Structure 1
Amino acid sequence: MKAVVLYASADDVAAKAPAHFPAHKARLDEYAARGDLLMVGTFADPQKDGSMAVFRTRESAESFVAGDPFVLNGVVRAYEIRDWQEILVP
């Protein structure tokens, strides 16, 4: 079982994100290096559709979000963590 984090962007995400991106990226790199973060990215229209990250466990997703500079500084207005059952395709 994996965990997916869905972020809903704040109304002014393009203005707010640059100031907090270096700290956000450092956190992404930390979680990726230890194998907890598997994938991350924005949707085609980040303002309207937000972004998504896939974590190895729900615990790692919850831990990431709890200290994410984008969450702490209002770059995202809301988030949701969903458990996700990965199906491998041959």
Structure 2
Amino acid sequence: MLMDSTTVTFAEAKAHLSQLTERAAAGETVIITKRGKPVAQLSRPATSRKPVGLAMLRRLTESMPKQSEEADRFMRRLRDEARY
């Protein structure tokens, strides 16, 4: 699904960068202009995802050592030792 593009001035982009990046992350293209001419474009980066093979994932995790301590106790111990 391709969304529309939005054009904003450089000053507007500076003032609303967080909102504009959220819109770009949602798939919208944001064109930034300076003195009426396009100078930059915000858009979601193209990501290529490769499927993970279940057999390969099992082989990888089987070779890992088992955790000797439950995760909640481990995290609590790390936190307590660091003395936040």
**Alignment TM class, shorter chain as reference:** under 0.3
Query: Considering only CA atoms, is the larger Rg found in Structure 1 or Structure 2?
Result: 2
Q: TM-score, normalised by structure 1?
A: 0.27
Bigger RCO (CA 8 Å, 6+ sep)? 1
Q: TM-score, normalised by structure 2?
A: 0.28
User: When you count strand as a share of all residues, which structure comes out higher?
Assistant: 1
